[in-house]
Structure 1
Amino acid sequence: MTSTTSLFAPVEADLKLLTDNLKQLVGARHPILYAAAEHLFGAGGKRIRPAIVLLLSRATVMGSDIPARHLRLAEITEMIHTASLVHDDVVDESSLRRGVPTVHSSFNNRIAVLAGDFLFAQSSWHLANLDNLTVVKLLSRVIMDLAEGEIQQGLNRFDTTLSIDAYLMKSYYKTASLIANSAKSVGVLSQVSDSLAESFYQYGRNLGLAFQIVDDILDFTGSEDVLGKPAGSDLLSGNLTAPVLYAMEETPYLTTLIEREFAQNGDFEEAMALVRASRGIKRSRDLAAQHVERAVENLAGLTQSEPKRALEALSGYVLSRLY
């Protein structure tokens, strides 16, 4: 599998600067929040979202240096993403994230909620200081979408009537919206044509959906070491994803197990086995591949360059995580 390190070679120095800047942006005025943020930013994330912003920036600016506003956009993107993870972990009661203890398990729920709020507030402040109303609107929409996605997921627990379309919409809110709107924001800051900016949005949307679908497949095929959390966590909590929705179509008894919320001994283990034995995982893989293909097509209007090739390769990397 290709590593993100090699994929992000064109922006490696930019990403290192971003990591250093993130800690400075949070600031040391609040020692506990700073410690929480440092814990988050050092948790070994792949930095895929800011890397996309930086690669698109280099692909459109084509200069030796990325403008300061583009660098700040990448930092804002990662801050929004990180803030959402902190809140997600509290809501999901997750003890691990990427194999590292979550903020609320290392500190407590109160500190985790405050740390997430603080990061959202910081990102909003720096966003406003970009002095670009269109970009402010795009990324403000993302923060609304993240909340909407979390609400939908909470309300739809163990809902066996959930459709694939509703699942994809929730996946857009929770994962793809940030990638799509931050990608479009690069186009706005780089003053590309409206059609090319829209292509950036569609690239981010399709890549984000593929990324979420692959994550949902890995919940059934990955090991706890790879996932950084127990396999089947989503299903156990009633979060029904593509592999489960497809599996229910061919195995009605799976629906019964889910509707009684795995109340009987062995229900959950049987449900996991039914999903793995079905065509749900293959159909989900095909769905992810369709979105990856569309993501690459969305880059057609971008001039050939090393950053563009990295963005295309990133699409392939999303699927390669399954092998």
Structure 2
Amino acid sequence: MTSVTSLFAPVEADLCLLTENLKKLVGARHPILYAAAEHLFGAGGKRVRPAIVLLVARATILEGDITPRHRRLAEITEMIHTASLVHDDVVDESEVRRNVPTVNSLFNNRVAVLAGDFLFGQSAWYLANLDNLEVVKLLSEVIKDMAEGEIQQGLNRFDTTTTIEDYLQKSYNKTASLIANSAKAAGVLSGVSSDTANCLYHYGRHVGLAFQIVDDILDFTASTEVLGKPAGSDLVSGNLTAPVLYALEEKPYLEVLIEREFTQPDDLKQALGLVEESQGIEHSRELAAYHAKAAVQYLSNLKASESSQALIDVADYVLSRIY
């Protein structure tokens, strides 16, 4: 399995600079907001989203260095992602993420909501200062999609009529939209053709969907230590993901357990057992593999380089997390 470090080798120095810059960019005058931001950006995430932006930048500018606007776009991408996580943790009442306390558990919900709002506000300001209307439109769409995805998830809790298509749309809104639109935006800043820009969008969309499906598989198959949050937490909160939706097709009693929201003793244990006994996880693996393979096909417009190869390897890495 490829490690994240070797995977992002072409942009390793760029990512180090990004981590330093993020804390400076926040620049919150209020000590609690600054402490919250510092805690978030020091939480040791994989930085997959800004890494993809930087790899696209390097893959589309083969001569000379990437521009300060590419670097700023990568920083904005990580700020938007982090802001959405802070708000997600409040909505989900999560106490840990990546094995560290969430902002809402460390401070309180009020501080967490304000910290998320502040990060969204800062990202919007820096986005406007890129002075590129197309890029502003692409990233503004992401913030709208994220809110829509969170609303979809909230309204469809414990809803066993949810379809795989509904799930994929929600997954696009919550996860893939940011990767798709920021990859396209990086291409736009490089001055690529509209055809190549659209290919970069579809690459990001498919990688993002594969990434989310794999995360949802790991919620059933990985330990709490690996996940950095309690295993099975999606099902507990009524968020029905691909493994559950596929399992429902085979295990009718699972519907009963979900619709009564696991109120009886052992309901959750039974539900987890039914998902594991079914083909739900295997079908979800096949779905993730389909999207990872589709992503790579959209990179054929790019010239061969260390960075374009790394973008191909990202799709393989996403899948490797479940094997």
| TM-score bracket for this pair, using the shorter chain length | over 0.9
> How far is 1:63 from its partner?
3.1
* Aligned pairs for 1:109-258 within 5 A: 109-258=109-258
Cα distance in 1 between the residues matched to 2:111 and 2:17:
27
Cα distance in 2 between the residues matched to 1:100 and 1:64:
39
Secondary structure, counterpart of 2:51 in structure 1: helix
Quick one: which amino acid aligns to residue 74 of structure 1? A
Quick one: which amino acid aligns to residue 160 of structure 1? T
Percent sequence identity over aligned pairs: 73
1:48 matched residue in structure 2: 48
1:306 matched residue in structure 2: 306
Cα distance in 2 between the residues matched to 1:277 and 1:250:
10
Q: Does 1:275 align with 2:306?
A: no
Cα distance in 1 between the residues matched to 2:63 and 2:145:
33
Q: Unaligned regions of 5+ residues in structure 2, if any? A: none
Quick one: which amino acid aligns to residue 167 of structure 1? Y
Cα distance in 1 between the residues matched to 2:47 and 2:231:
23
> How far is 1:263 from its partner?
1.2
> How far is 1:30 from its partner?
1.8
2:7 matched residue in structure 1: 7
Cα distance in 2 between the residues matched to 1:133 and 1:120:
18
* Most deviating of 12-21 and 64-73: 64-73
Quick one: which amino acid aligns to residue 177 of structure 2? S
| Aligned residue pair count | 323
Quick one: which amino acid aligns to residue 148 of structure 1? E
State the superposition RMSD in angstroms: 0.6
Cα distance in 1 between the residues matched to 2:139 and 2:112:
22
Quick one: which amino acid aligns to residue 154 of structure 2? G
> How far is 1:28 from its partner?
4.3
> How far is 1:182 from its partner?
0.3
Cα distance in 1 between the residues matched to 2:227 and 2:205:
23
Secondary structure, counterpart of 1:34 in structure 2: helix
Secondary structure, counterpart of 1:256 in structure 2: helix
Q: Unaligned regions of 5+ residues in structure 1, if any? A: none
Cα distance in 1 between the residues matched to 2:120 and 2:314:
27
* Most deviating of 63-72 and 260-269: 63-72
> How far is 1:64 from its partner?
3.8
Secondary structure, counterpart of 1:20 in structure 2: helix
2:81 matched residue in structure 1: 81
Deviation per residue, 1:231-259 (Å, 9 max, x gap)? 11000100000000000001100011101
Cα distance in 2 between the residues matched to 1:152 and 1:237:
14
Cα distance in 2 between the residues matched to 1:83 and 1:188:
24
2:318 matched residue in structure 1: 318
